[in-house]
């Protein structure tokens, strides 16, 4: 199929643009309907999301340590396309985006002040807060991403398929029903990417606007500032997406991760370093002890269903919403890696960095908080990071660096998303037409802008995860296709065009 004739492009981009325009015209109604749909689904299918995420964690572990771990994504003599640092930088920047900046302080301090178990603002709640946050951003998130990426990478580099979400289903489960499911998977994947990334744009713009107000005194709730931030960001990520991965996306991701390391080290050294080290050590222990009961809704967590729906399951659905985007993108950049190397790099390395990140930012905020940071985070999570930075030496410089990082994380995530949407709606082309990437960049800006003007984080999150509801089934079908192919012992058949 020629890319310009792909039948996925017009219906998906038209639907996304329509939702974006509707959001600009009637943001309150969009918010009400989105929250109602997501709440109803999570209420009825909480167990399914929990079980699916747990299954993917176990399968990733099995693939890493088992006999399939030695199998290579591509021909045996084919070297990796990118250096290990550039590869990990790109997958990490795409997978987490500005979320680590937005929630790095906000989530731990909120759980510390208002824990789901026990009393708030105590040493026990501090430990629980970091453990909860680590579980939300740890192996479950990256196992979802890792499996979504591994499936597509295996079928592309070893079976010669395209990068479409439905390609594994179409290849293994033949017949008219399988073809229909595969086509639906492509459409669902594109919609999930668009809505999921739009949610991150909304959160990021709100945080940048709050940061500008905290550091330089601009109006905290000004629509003009939000539009200016959104416009600059849209131009930046669209220009990057229009270039090749080897240039724009790789370059931005490498700089982004390097600056993130500088930022987290600076906060650790300028803040209460001893308390941060202690928080890190304790959070690792608590992560291990809490991960099973929390992720299975057992023990004391069985009585916290409302909280679990809002936080833990909300996060799982969020990661599933991002899985088609991260999966296609990470598959695209992973040629030449073994399955074992892939799982370790995609699941364990980002999880380790996330635990360090929350120990430093969240641990610092908890250690120095006199109640004011918690109040700010509860009222507006977008301002929590800057409320903490204002308590440290060099607050203005750190605040400026934080704003730059949020912008960079957003640009690297959204330009990758525009690139992937261009791939999916161009017949799975590894290097989609520039015009298609530009079109998706603009539409993502329209969608993200609509969410900015809802001005409520619950609405942003609800819209972002709507696409995950049907994509959960797609991800499970993709995983089944991979297991069937590996079980058959299929020999690699390199794609006609390596990317």
Q: Any idea how long the chain is? A: 499
pLDDT in tens, 43-88: 999 999 999 999 999 999 999 998 898 999 988 778 888 888 888 8
Does the residue 497 lie in any domain? no
Percent of the chain at pLDDT exceeding 90: 43
Measured distance CA(40)–CA(44) in Å, rounded? 6
Among 62-66, 113-117, 214-218, 485-489, the least confident range: 485-489
Does the residue 209 lie in any domain? yes
Which range in 30-44, 61-75, 80-94, 235-249 is most confidently predicted, on average pLDDT? 61-75
| Average pLDDT across the chain, whole number | 87
What pLDDT does residue 351 have?
93
Does the residue 492 lie in any domain? no
Q: Is the pLDDT of residue 1 over 60?
A: no
Q: How many domains does the chain have?
A: 1
Measured distance CA(304)–CA(317) in Å, rounded? 18
Residue 272 burial class via C-beta count within 10 angstroms: exposed 0-12, middle 13-18, buried 19 and up = middle
What pLDDT does residue 4 have?
47
Does the residue 330 lie in any domain? yes
What is the dihedral sign for C-alpha 207, 210, 214, 217? positive
Q: What is the b/e burial string over 51-88, where b = at least 16 CB atoms within 10 angstroms of the residue's CB?
A: ebbbebbebbeebbeeebbebbbbeeeeebbbeeebbb
Domain that holds residue 215: 3-487
Does the residue 187 lie in any domain? yes
Measured distance CA(359)–CA(129) in Å, rounded? 10
Supply 276's token pair.
Answer: 């941060």
Does the residue 494 lie in any domain? no
Give the model's confidence band at 492: pLDDT under 50 very low, under 70 low, under 90 confident, else very high: low
Question: 115 phi and psi, to 5 degrees?
Answer: -70, 150
Q: What is the b/e burial string over 361-390, where b = at least 16 CB atoms within 10 angstroms of the residue's CB?
A: bbbbbbbebeeebbebbeebbbbbbbbbbb
Does the residue 153 lie in any domain? yes
Residue 138 burial class via C-beta count within 10 angstroms: exposed 0-12, middle 13-18, buried 19 and up = buried
Measured distance CA(474)–CA(169) in Å, rounded? 9
What pLDDT does residue 347 have?
94
pLDDT in tens, 142-197: 999 999 999 999 999 988 888 889 999 999 987 888 888 988 899 888 888 888 88
Q: Is the pLDDT of residue 308 over 60?
A: yes
Percent of the chain at pLDDT exceeding 70: 94
Does the residue 495 lie in any domain? no
Cβ proximity of 429 and 202 under 8 Å: no
Higher pLDDT, 368 or 232: 368
Any idea what the CATH number is for the domain that residue 134 is in? 1.20.1740
Mean pLDDT over residues 282-298, rounded? 90
């Amino acid at each position: 199929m020629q890319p310009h004739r792909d039948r996925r492009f017009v219906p998906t981009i038209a639907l996304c643009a329509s939702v974006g325009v509707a959001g600009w015209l009637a943001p309150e109604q969009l918010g009400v309907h989105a929250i109602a749909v997501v709440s109803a689904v999570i209420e009825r299918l909480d167990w399914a999301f929990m079980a699916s995420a747990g299954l993917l964690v176990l399968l990733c572990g099995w693939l890493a340590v088992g006999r399939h771990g030695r199998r290579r994504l591509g021909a045996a003599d084919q070297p990796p396309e990118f250096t290990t640092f550039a590869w990990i930088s790109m997958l990490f920047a795409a997978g987490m985006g500005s979320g680590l900046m937005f929630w790095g302080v906000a989530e731990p301090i909120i759980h510390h002040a208002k824990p789901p178990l026990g009393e708030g603002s105590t040493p026990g709640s501090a430990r629980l807060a970091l453990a909860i946050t680590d579980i939300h951003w740890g192996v479950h998130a990256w196992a979802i991403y890792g499996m979504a990426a591994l499936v597509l990478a295996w079928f592309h580099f070893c079976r010669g398929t395209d990068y479409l979400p439905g390609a594994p289903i179409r290849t293994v489960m033949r017949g008219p029903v399988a073809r229909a499911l595969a086509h639906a998977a492509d459409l669902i994947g594109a919609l999930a990417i668009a809505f999921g990334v739009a949610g991150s744009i909304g959160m990021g713009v709100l945080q940048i606007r709050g940061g500008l107000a905290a550091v330089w005194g601009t109006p905290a709730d000004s629509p003009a500032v939000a539009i200016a931030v959104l416009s600059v960001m849209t131009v930046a990520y669209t220009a990057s997406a229009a270039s090749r991965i080897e240039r724009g996306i790789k370059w931005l991701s490498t700089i982004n991760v390097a600056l993130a390391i500088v930022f987290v080290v600076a906060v650790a050294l300028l803040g209460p370093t001893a308390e941060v080290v202690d928080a890190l050590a304790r959070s690792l222990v608590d992560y291990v002890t809490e991960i099973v009961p929390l992720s299975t809704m057992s023990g004391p967590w069985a009585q916290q269903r409302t909280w679990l729906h809002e936080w833990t399951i909300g996060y799982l659905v969020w990661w599933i919403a991002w899985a088609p985007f991260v999966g296609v993108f990470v598959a695209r950049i992973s040629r030449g890696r073994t399955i074992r190397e892939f799982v370790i790099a995609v699941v364990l390395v980002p999880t380790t960095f996330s635990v360090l990140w929350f120990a430093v930012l969240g641990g610092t905020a908890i250690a120095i908080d006199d109640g004011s940071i918690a109040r700010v985070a509860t009222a507006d999570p977008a301002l929590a990071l800057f409320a903490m930075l204002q308590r440290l030496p060099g607050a203005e410089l750190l605040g400026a660096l934080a704003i730059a990082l949020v912008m960079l994380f957003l640009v690297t995530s959204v330009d990758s998303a525009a690139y992937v949407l261009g791939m999916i709606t161009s017949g799975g082309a590894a290097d989609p037409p520039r015009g298609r990437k530009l079109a998706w960049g603009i539409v993502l800006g329209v969608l993200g802008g609509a969410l900015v003007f809802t001005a409520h984080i619950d609405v942003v999150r609800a819209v972002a995860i709507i696409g995950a509801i049907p994509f959960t089934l797609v991800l499970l079908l993709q995983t089944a296709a991979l297991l069937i192919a590996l079980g058959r012992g299929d020999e690699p058949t390199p794609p006609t065009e390596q990317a």
